[in-house]
Structure 1
Amino acid sequence: MNYRPLIWLAVATFSTGIDGYVLAGLLPAIAEDLNVVEAAAGQLVSVFALTSALAAPLLSTMTSRWERRRTIAWALGVFVLGNLIVGLATTYPIALGGRVVAALGGCLLNAAVTGYVLALTPAKDHGKALSFVLGGWMAATALGVPVGLVLGQSSWRLPMILVAVVGTIALTGILLKLPRLHLPSGTLADRLRPLGQPRLLAGLLVTTGILCSSYVCFTYATLILGPSFTAEWTIILIMFGYGLASMLGNAVTGRLVDRYTALRVLTVVLTGLLLDAALGALAFRVVPLGTALAVAGLVWFFVAGIGNGGAAVPQQARLAALAPDSAAIVMALNGSAISLGVALGGGLGGITLAAGASPHGLLVVAAAILALTLGLHLLVAKARRYDEVPAQGRA
């Protein structure tokens, strides 16, 4: 398989990955500079995700008749513009508006890239191709985010400029190197039709639950880990470690899905995430402040990184198996489910903190969400097995 045309798409997802993660490590600086509380600064993450979740199906339909390279280029250009607005914002409302603009470009970009990759590559290479392109996102958590946080020590605005620069580089490569591609257009009803399947809708809600539980904590990770790691450079190293853990989880589950089944792998991942959140919440409550608590905090955070990074491959494979004839549409809807989960997680975390809960209490919220998500996942699995049993054997 020739990966050369896909390199620039991986660079594009690398830029969106930096954008998706770096703000979580800069909330105190953003809040101070824009004169808002940290919970409000966290909504810069949430509004991006919520806008993406709502706009993705609509924008994908509106541009469905466009040539695909053109769609990707326009989407990336809008995403870059939004990040420039945020990076130059003098007030919180301007920064919030910039996040909305960036989200409009980012959500269309993600949907267009997925459809492009699926159409450009043979069916037997879909998994590898998507893994390669979306690997840019995982690489951003390990490389781009720490670099962004280092720059952010001088000014939180510099990482936003970094995102815009990387996005511009990707845009140049896409315009020069990416082949043109026309795909059949579709209506909004066509794109939303898979939602008529209750089992698939429940499967998409599993995606939302996974991301919601993740971002309840990740958005405010600096507040959760702050008492044990006060030096700025330690937070940068921790974020670097989280990125590596996510890459490890993604790589391991990718191999396990080929060997076992997506259902089994996802069940193990969700169970592990639930236990990690529950034990982490207990550790923060009973372990005294000091080295032991710092170690316990790191174990919780890195295990969460492995689980959150590892959930993507089996969940995508699971959804594709639920609707094999609508894979491209389902993946676009899965992108909206991801964004919705991020928005709900960041928002719920902010509400929890505003209500007076300690940052450590966010792990309890995450554990509750994961318990519900695991239960929903098992219901979807049970329904799938029931459908696969012949009618005469169901008695």
Structure 2
Amino acid sequence: MNYRPLIWLAVAAFSTGIDGYVLAGLLPAIADDLNVVPAVAGQLMSAFALTSALAAPLLSTVTSRWERRRTIAIALAVFVLGNLIVAAAPNYPIALGGRIVAALGGCLLNAAVSAYVIALTPAKDHGKGLSFVLGGWMAATALGVPVGLVIGQSNWRFPMILVAVVGSVALVGILLKLPRLHLPSATLAERLRPLGQPRLLAGLLVTTGILCSSYTCFTYASLILHRAFPAEWMMILIMFGYGLASMLGNAVTGRLADRFTPLRVLTVVLIGLFTNAVLGALAFRFAPLGVLAVAGLVWFFAAGIGNGGAAVPQQARLAAFAPDSAAIVMALNGSAISLGAALGGGLGGVTLAAASSPYDLLAVAAVVLALTLGLHLIVAKTRQYDEVVS
């Protein structure tokens, strides 16, 4: 498989990945500079997620007949523009507007890139292609928090400029090196027809469940791990390790999905995530402090491998449901991701507000994963039945 055309897509994914994580560690500085409370500053992330969830299907539908390289380039340019607006914003409303602009470009970019990879690569290499490009996003997961905390110490705007610079480099590479790609012509009604498939909608809910369980714990990871790792520099290293674990999961499952089918790989990943959450919840409750540090790292890094590893088989599986509408399906999957992240953060916050221990978040995540695994198995059974009948 020739990865050369996909390099610049991976760089673009890297820029969007940093953008998704870099603000989390900078909220106090942003709040002070823009004269708002941290809770309001946090809405810069919420606005991005909500805009992405709502706009991705619409924008992908509107642009479904466009040449794919042009779509990717325009989306990336809008994303870069949005980050430059945030970096230069003199006040909170302009920064919020910049985040919305960045979200409009970012959500279309992510959907268009995934659809491009699926269309460009043969079916037997879908997993490898998606894994390679998503590896850029996973690498950003490893670097996003450390880069944000280190570079942003002097000025929170510098990481936003970094995102814009990386995105601009990717844009030049895409315009110069990425092949043009025209998808088969189809009417808007034909492209939207897959949305009438109950199994596709249920499959998208599986994405939401995976992200919800992940962000229920990831959003508050510093609270969960604080007892064993109280120093801030320790958490920076642990977050870096989580990102590396995500990259490993992404790389491994991308190859396994091509060999054993995305359905089987995703089933194993979901079972592993559920088991890890249950064992982690028990360890945090009953393990002594000396063992807790090791158990906490094992749980967190195993979650990183599973969460990173779920992305490729899930995308490949959803695309197989509607191969002629991959761009729209990937946009809907992006919306499901944003929705899951928002629900996970909210669910974790509600759990903590109920005077629960941070360790209870693992039990909540286990319940979400149990429901998600059950739904996944139902969808899988329906899919197999349809294949036998047809």
TM-score normalized by the length of structure 2: 0.88
Conserved 8 A contact 2:69-2:179:
yes
What residue in structure 1 maps to residue 64 of structure 2?
A: 64
What residue in structure 2 maps to residue 314 of structure 1?
A: 313
What residue in structure 1 maps to residue 52 of structure 2?
A: 52
Q: How many residue pairs are counted as aligned between the two chains? A: 390
Conserved 8 A contact 1:42-1:219:
no
Q: How far apart are 1:372 and its partner, in Å?
A: 1.0
Segment of structure 1 superposing worse, 252-261 or 190-199: 252-261
Distance 1:294 1:43 in 2: 33
What residue in structure 2 maps to residue 220 of structure 1?
A: 220
Kindly provide the CA deviation profile for residues 5-58 of structure 1, in whole angstroms up to 9, marking residues without a partner as x: 322111101101111233344455555655666665554333322211211111
What residue in structure 1 maps to residue 103 of structure 2?
A: 103
Q: Does 1:337 align with 2:336?
A: yes
Q: Residue 102 of structure 1 aligns to which amino acid in structure 2?
A: A
- In structure 2, the residue corresponding to 1:180 is in which secondary structure? coil
Q: Residue 244 of structure 1 aligns to which amino acid in structure 2?
A: L
What residue in structure 2 maps to residue 16 of structure 1?
A: 16
Distance 1:330 1:7 in 2: 23
Kindly provide the CA deviation profile for residues 98-149 of structure 1, in whole angstroms up to 9, marking residues without a partner as x: 3222111101111222233333444444433332222211222234543333
Distance 2:60 2:308 in 1: 26
- In structure 1, the residue corresponding to 2:359 is in which secondary structure? helix
Q: Does 1:195 align with 2:195?
A: yes
Distance 1:205 1:310 in 2: 17
Conserved 8 A contact 2:16-2:137:
yes
Q: Residue 136 of structure 1 aligns to which amino acid in structure 2?
A: G
Conserved 8 A contact 1:212-1:342:
yes
Q: Residue 306 of structure 2 aligns to which amino acid in structure 1?
A: G
What residue in structure 2 maps to residue 245 of structure 1?
A: 245
Matches within 5 A, 1:289-368: 290-354=289-353, 356-368=355-367
Q: How far apart are 1:351 and its partner, in Å?
A: 4.0
Distance 2:387 2:327 in 1: 23
Q: Residue 140 of structure 2 aligns to which amino acid in structure 1?
A: A
Q: Residue 153 of structure 1 aligns to which amino acid in structure 2?
A: Q
Distance 1:282 1:157, change over 3 A: farther
Conserved 8 A contact 1:250-1:310:
yes
What residue in structure 2 maps to residue 7 of structure 1?
A: 7
Q: Residue 314 of structure 2 aligns to which amino acid in structure 1?
A: Q
Distance 1:163 1:239 in 2: 19
Kindly provide the CA deviation profile for residues 163-222 of structure 1, in whole angstroms up to 9, marking residues without a partner as x: 111111111222233333344565654443212111121111101110111122222323
Q: Residue 109 of structure 1 aligns to which amino acid in structure 2?
A: L
Q: Residue 303 of structure 2 aligns to which amino acid in structure 1?
A: A
Q: How far apart are 1:85 and its partner, in Å?
A: 3.1
Distance 2:346 2:34 in 1: 19
Distance 1:254 1:270 in 2: 15
Distance 1:152 1:352, change over 3 A: farther
Q: How far apart are 1:64 and its partner, in Å?
A: 3.1
Q: Residue 370 of structure 1 aligns to which amino acid in structure 2?
A: L
Q: Residue 341 of structure 1 aligns to which amino acid in structure 2?
A: G
What residue in structure 1 maps to residue 377 of structure 2?
A: 378
What residue in structure 1 maps to residue 254 of structure 2?
A: 254
Distance 1:286 1:279 in 2: 11
Q: How far apart are 1:241 and its partner, in Å?
A: 0.4
Distance 1:191 1:43, change over 3 A: farther
Structure 2 gaps of 5+ residues are none
Q: Residue 85 of structure 1 aligns to which amino acid in structure 2?
A: I
Distance 1:308 1:144 in 2: 16
Distance 1:96 1:283 in 2: 41
TM-score normalized by the length of structure 1: 0.87
Q: How far apart are 1:69 and its partner, in Å?
A: 2.5
Q: How far apart are 1:250 and its partner, in Å?
A: 1.6
Conserved 8 A contact 1:42-1:346:
no
Distance 1:379 1:183, change over 3 A: closer
Distance 1:279 1:38 in 2: 34
- In structure 1, the residue corresponding to 2:23 is in which secondary structure? helix
Distance 1:153 1:286, change over 3 A: farther
Q: Residue 200 of structure 2 aligns to which amino acid in structure 1?
A: L
Segment of structure 1 superposing worse, 205-214 or 229-238: 229-238
Kindly provide the CA deviation profile for residues 309-349 of structure 1, in whole angstroms up to 9, marking residues without a partner as x: 11122222332343455444433322222222222223333
What residue in structure 1 maps to residue 163 of structure 2?
A: 163
CA RMSD of aligned residues (A): 2.8
Distance 1:160 1:269, change over 3 A: same
Conserved 8 A contact 1:40-1:350:
no
Segment of structure 1 superposing worse, 92-101 or 203-212: 92-101
Q: How far apart are 1:242 and its partner, in Å?
A: 0.5
- In structure 2, the residue corresponding to 1:154 is in which secondary structure? coil
Distance 1:127 1:338, change over 3 A: same
- In structure 2, the residue corresponding to 1:311 is in which secondary structure? helix
Residue identity (%): 84
Conserved 8 A contact 1:15-1:163:
yes
Distance 1:52 1:319 in 2: 19
Distance 2:179 2:212 in 1: 36
Matches within 5 A, 1:109-188: 109-183=109-183
Segment of structure 1 superposing worse, 83-92 or 101-110: 83-92
Distance 1:344 1:36, change over 3 A: farther
